[in-house]
Structure 1
């Protein structure tokens, strides 16, 4: 499962819906996400991909504190 936080909303999408496979680079995953949401790839440049031990992937904006 891919958990995505994008534009203030949360989405849960199966990897196969996005065309994501094990071992894909962060850049390739971000390109798939941009295609899925029909936005420019640069929209995901600052996003963090957190690969969980469970196999899930969390995609979220980079946290800024202060």
Structure 2
């Protein structure tokens, strides 16, 4: 499962629906997520991908503290 947090929305999408395979790097994952959201992949350049022990992914904006 891929949990996407984008512009105030949260959505869960199966990896298979996005075409994400095990071992894909962050750039490839962001490209597939951007295609799903119908936006340019550069809109996700400041986003991070958290890889959970379960195999799930979380695509989210980078957190800024302080």
Deviations 1:1-49 (A, max 9, x none): 1011011011000001100000001000000011111111101101010
TM (normalized to structure 1)?
Answer: 0.96
1:65 maps to what in 2?
65
The root-mean-square deviation of aligned C-alpha atoms, in Å, is: 0.6
TM (normalized to structure 2)?
Answer: 0.96
Q: Distance in 1 between matches of 2:37 and 2:10?
A: 13
Q: Size of the alignment, in residue pairs?
A: 66
Gaps of 5+ in 2: none
Residue 11, structure 1, aligned to residue 11, structure 2: yes
Write out the 4+ residue segments of structure 1 that deviate beyond 6 Å after TM superposition. Answer: none
1:29 maps to what in 2?
29
Q: Secondary structure at the match of 1:23?
A: coil
